[in-house]
Chains A and B, each alone.
Chain A
Amino acid sequence: MAKLDTRGRAVLRAYRQAKFGPSEPQDALWARIEASLDEGALGPSIEPTPSPSSATLAPTTVGPTLVVAIAVAVAAIVVAALALSPEDRALASRPTPDQAPRAVVASEPGVATHADAAAESATIGTPPTSPSAAVVHDEPLDPSSASPRRRAPRRSDRDAAALEASDPEATQVDELRAELALIREARQALQADRPTGALEALDAHARAFPRGQMREDREVLRIEALCAAGKAPQARAEVQLFLRAYPRSAHAQRVRAMCVAP
């Protein structure tokens, strides 16, 4: 493969500096991101990131590796299904499309070691006291987010309860995931022109998480679903309730425009 010579490297370095400026994150933009998070915004709904492992395998290795991987995956699913409690099975059967697909084939080890350590990744577990003191290496983010999909060995209910009690953050993340699944279900039903299905999913969310983190999104979707179901007066009443409850919501403008009387 052709190599980049010194001249080319120098030109590209100059280009990067000239085009994008100094590598300083923008404080104003961060403040805006924080404000959006405070308002409960979740960003655009994007497709899950596909597993990179299968895509990067050399063609000659795909065939046999894929067969073995599928066999292992099927065995793992069977074992997991047998090990799950009825409640777990109910939760597992609920779609969680927001979750990234899991890698079936083991990823290539040592990939991260190729990366440029200076700009590679940040250590999140031990926040530095100042930006300049940040330790930069390739450790997992924080204990709660490092490998959430790695299922612990089967535990008794008491053990599980004790673990959850000792790890409220993990519980919060699980709850948020369950909330997201219901909200996603409602959104998909709306997109498929099934407002009744959307309202059912939203009712289920309201029952399970009356004070959930997604309640604002739930109310917005409810108004949309009521409109789509032809229940305009009820939708308009909900609009007023929403604007009273969330006067500074990022959705306020959109909600005001919903189901406007002709």
Chain B
Amino acid sequence: MAANRGSGADAPLASADPRRRALAEVYRVHATFVRRCAGHLGVLDPHLDDLVHDVFLVVYRRLPELDRTRGTLRSWLFGITKRVVLHHRRAAARHQRRLTIVPPPSQQPCPDEEIARRRVVDHIDAFLRGLPPKQRIVFALADIEGMPAVEVARSLEANVNTIHARLGAARRAFARYLDQLEQDREDDDGEA
């Protein structure tokens, strides 16, 4: 097996193990989706790699159980990701571990583009933090990940009408938030 290890997710397509090949393909297409979902579920950046690693080990184990008639591959992956996140949280609580996150290196002066990028991330992160958790995950899956409401409902094991209601509330809050940001910017420009 080790001999088949490649540097990229496409390399193991030559693996003799069909399940390993299937996993490689799922990883190639959906690894970033899993990573983003873990982020939406509150996993901090330094732990994302560990989380994605564990998710794909579970995916490998469970590939034979996958039943595509019960939903899309993405909703199945989200279900696994959600449970692995819960597992990590429980394990951390059980062992009373408090991991110290190494602070990022001191901020160097960065170009305007980088400042703009950070500003977008900071603003939207602040908005997401302000949403009730149930609205937050619906908003993230539907409007950041682009999942249809029916798929979100499957992923979260909720009624589709409930999903529509949560998404509507989150979108209204988002529109108000963007309006407020624009207003603040105009005020700043006026003062300047």
Query: Which residues does chain A contribute within 8 Å of B71, judged by CB atoms?
Result: 52, 107, 111-112
**Interface residues on chain B, number (Cβ under 8 Å):** 93
**Interface residues on chain A, number (Cβ under 8 Å):** 88
From A67-75, A129-137, A152-160, A218-226, the one touching the partner chain is: A129-137
Quick check: A14 and B120 within 8 Å, CB to CB? Answer: yes
Q: Does A230 contact B (CB under 8 A)?
A: no
Task: Out of A30, A49, A108, A128, name the residue touching B79 (CB < 8 Å).
Answer: A49
Quick check: A59 and B159 within 8 Å, CB to CB? Answer: yes
Q: How far is the CB of B124 from chain A (nearest CB, A)?
A: 4
From B100-108, B129-137, B148-156, B184-192, the one touching the partner chain is: B148-156
Contact residues of B between 106 and 158, Cβ < 8 Å to A: 117-118, 120-121, 124-125, 143-144, 146-148, 150-151, 153-155, 157-158
Q: How far is the CB of B99 from chain A (nearest CB, A)?
A: 17
Query: Which residues does chain B contribute within 8 Å of A58, judged by CB atoms?
Result: 159-161
Quick check: B58 and A44 within 8 Å, CB to CB? Answer: yes
Quick check: B49 and A114 within 8 Å, CB to CB? Answer: no
Contact A127 B31, CB 8 Å, known A27-B8, A46-B58, A47-B83: no
Quick check: B28 and A25 within 8 Å, CB to CB? Answer: yes
Quick check: A127 and B21 within 8 Å, CB to CB? Answer: yes
Give complex CA distance A67, B144 in Å: 38
Q: Does A18 contact B (CB under 8 A)?
A: yes
Quick check: B66 and A145 within 8 Å, CB to CB? Answer: yes
Which 3 residue pairs of A and B lie closest in terms of their CB atoms, listed nearest first? A43-B57, A25-B31, A55-B157
5 interchain pairs, CB-CB under 8 A:
A24-B32, A44-B58, A56-B158, A177-B64, A180-B61
